[in-house]
Amino acid sequence: MSARRTYGGIAAAVVFLCAGAWAVAQKADAPAAAASAPASASASASTPVAMATGAAAPAASTDPVLEHGRYLARAGDCVSCHTAPGKPAFGGGLPMKTPFGTIVSTNITPDTEAGIGAYTEAEFARALREGVARDGHRLYPAMPYPSFARVNDEDMHALFVFFRNGVQPVAQKPPATDLPWPFSMRSLMIGWNWIYLDKGVYQSDSARSAEWNRGAYLVQGLGHCGDCHTPRSMLGGVKAANDRKGDAFLSGAVIDGWYAQPLRHTDRPTMAQWPAEEIVQYLQTGRTSHTAAFGAMVDVVQNSTQHLSTQDLQAVSAYLKSLGATEGAPAAASPASLVAAAPKHPVALALRNGTVEGNSGAMVYLNNCNACHRSDGTGADKTFPALAGNSVVNAKDPTSLIRLVLAGSAMPATSKAPSPIAMPDFGWRLSDADVASVLSFARSSWGNRGEAVTADQVAKVRDTVKPAKNP
């Protein structure tokens, strides 16, 4: 994909555009790299990164500010990007592949030579909020500083104290990032920041409750949920950085070959309709009775959200449930109501009676999926997700669905739900046409209302999962 390099020779405006395009790929791949361990061995439960989280938590100190900083570091999921597989926490060195070259995360331990031990608190805050390193060079937006800009002074201080006194110094300097020109020109980020970096810490909305504001602060700030869940413009910035910037905020985006579902109300079943307890449960365990996390969200749950307090997760849930909620408008049928109605659905009866001849999608389902997801598409509590009313199955973008069936997936292993139950991969036994027909079937059965999936769409996704799979 070095073809992108050729853009570099053209006019400055184009170079700038490239930088934007680069940012898209960069950001798309950053979490991919973080998630690469579980992706390549989908059934393995504890990823190196997950273990690193444990390693990052030696004996708790007695300093409440430091402990608060440790908590915030988890909310910001610093460990996922700043730790290489099998290496000490926060030592950096995680290679993040992009079509423009490989970017390597830096060492953020307090080592003065290799890490950020020489950073003053002001320099640390500037790196997190403005994307400027100690020596003045611009950071690539693979570091989510446009989100971290929202972090308030008190929390910034606690983070600094944690990274100064609560983290084991690591003396090793990771290899430097060396992107080909023009992407090597970090000064391009000045222009990018001018368009996309909104300075200023989170401002409370006085018309809303304290809980709502707490949720907004976590989601827009340290949680950087929009980095994956908000679509991006051509120049690589998110289309909306918060709820005031428009309905694109958290409206769903493809990241690392998975579709990160909308985290707001839309015209389809979404998580915003789940009961609050289910949202909290999902963020704590990576699963609910009807769904389970996969893709980049596995790492997010394992390394970040499972460690947040129930109160904070309730705040996150309250905030997300408010997004896109229009008073008086008829809501999409709720996932729960579809699950409840599924056993009586004609499709369920046909599958149970085996009267599905001529329906190729139903045949593929019966032979490959029925054992776990059941004829009524309700799966099994906390083990096999329900396909009825499922936001993934009904999603506008079928990327995740196709990829799940081709490549399989394993749920996150968390302290509250330790066993990583897996979905097998079917790419080796089902043709593109088979996958298209079984997914079209699932998207139109048990009350679901997703569009049909075509063999072409499957072929495109198959191309992207191929290299990851050993024959």
Closest to ligand HEC by CB, 31 or 231: 31
According to the binding rule CB under 6 A, does residue 371 interact with ligand HEC? yes
**240, 423, 453, 461: which one contacts ligand HEC (CB under 6 A)?**
423
**83, 281, 291, 378: which one contacts ligand HEC (CB under 6 A)?**
291
**263, 351, 388, 407: which one contacts ligand HEC (CB under 6 A)?**
263
Q: Which two tokens stand for residue 387?
A: 């396909």
According to the binding rule CB under 6 A, does residue 372 interact with ligand HEC? yes
Closest to ligand HEC by CB, 15 or 412: 412
Q: Segment contacting ligand HEC (CB under 6 A): 9-17, 51-59, 285-293, 458-466?
A: 285-293
For the segment 20-49, give every residue that binds ligand HEC (CB under 6 A): 30-31
**401, 406, 417, 458: which one contacts ligand HEC (CB under 6 A)?**
401
According to the binding rule CB under 6 A, does residue 109 interact with ligand HEC? no
**158, 405, 406, 453: which one contacts ligand HEC (CB under 6 A)?**
405
For the segment 192-251, give every residue that binds ligand HEC (CB under 6 A): 219, 222-225, 227-229
- What is the pairing mode between strands 101-104 and 95-98? antiparallel
According to the binding rule CB under 6 A, does residue 414 interact with ligand HEC? no
According to the binding rule CB under 6 A, does residue 295 interact with ligand HEC? yes
Q: By C-alpha distance, which of 104, 110, 148 is closest to 127? A: 148
Q: By C-alpha distance, which of 72, 238, 246 is closest to 151? A: 72
According to the binding rule CB under 6 A, does residue 133 interact with ligand HEC? yes
Closest to ligand HEC by CB, 10 or 122: 122
Residues 6+ apart with CB under 8 A from 356: 350, 362, 363, 366
Contact present, 145 and 192 (Cβ < 8 Å): no
For the segment 431-450, give every residue that binds ligand HEC (CB under 6 A): 438, 442
Closest to ligand HEC by CB, 210 or 371: 371
According to the binding rule CB under 6 A, does residue 410 interact with ligand HEC? yes
**Angle formed by the axes of helices 48-55 and 296-303, to 10°?**
20
H or E, element range at 367: helix 360-368
Closest to ligand HEC by CB, 6 or 45: 45
Residues 6+ apart with CB under 8 A from 210: none
Task: Work out how close the CB of 346 gets to ligand HEC at its nearest, in angstroms, rounded to a whole number.
Answer: 19
Task: Work out how close the CB of 159 gets to ligand HEC at its nearest, in angstroms, rounded to a whole number.
Answer: 6
Q: Which residue has the tokens 């640390």?
A: 124
Task: Work out how close the CB of 256 gets to ligand HEC at its nearest, in angstroms, rounded to a whole number.
Answer: 7
Task: Work out how close the CB of 5 gets to ligand HEC at its nearest, in angstroms, rounded to a whole number.
Answer: 19
Q: Which two tokens stand for residue 413?
A: 């292993």
3-state secondary structure of 92: strand
Task: Work out how close the CB of 8 gets to ligand HEC at its nearest, in angstroms, rounded to a whole number.
Answer: 18
- β-bridge partners, 278: none
Closest to ligand HEC by CB, 11 or 424: 424
For the segment 297-326, give every residue that binds ligand HEC (CB under 6 A): 297, 300, 305, 316
Give residue 11's Cα distance to chain centre: 35
DSSP state of 223: T
Q: Segment contacting ligand HEC (CB under 6 A): 200-208, 338-346, 403-411, 461-469?
A: 403-411
For the segment 111-130, give every residue that binds ligand HEC (CB under 6 A): 116, 124, 127-128
Q: By C-alpha distance, which of 87, 100, 89 is closest to 30? A: 100
- β-bridge partners, 98: 101
Q: By C-alpha distance, which of 253, 292, 290, 257 is closest to 274? A: 290
Which string of DSSP letters, residue by residue, matches 306-321?
GGS-HHHHHHHHHHHH
Closest to ligand HEC by CB, 9 or 182: 182
Radius of gyration of the chain (CA): 22
3-state secondary structure of 369: coil
H or E, element range at 123: helix 121-130
Q: Segment contacting ligand HEC (CB under 6 A): 76-84, 196-204, 448-456, 457-465?
A: 76-84
Query: Per-residue x/- marks for ligand HEC, 378-397, CB under 6 A?
Result: ------xx-x--xxxx----
Residue 258: CA atoms inside 13 Å, Cβ hemisphere, count? 24
For the segment 168-187, give every residue that binds ligand HEC (CB under 6 A): 177
**192, 249, 294, 446: which one contacts ligand HEC (CB under 6 A)?**
294
According to the binding rule CB under 6 A, does residue 78 interact with ligand HEC? yes
Q: Measured between alpha carbons, how far is 239 from 294 in angstroms, rounded to an integer?
A: 24
Q: Measured between alpha carbons, how far is 459 from 142 in angstroms, rounded to an integer?
A: 29
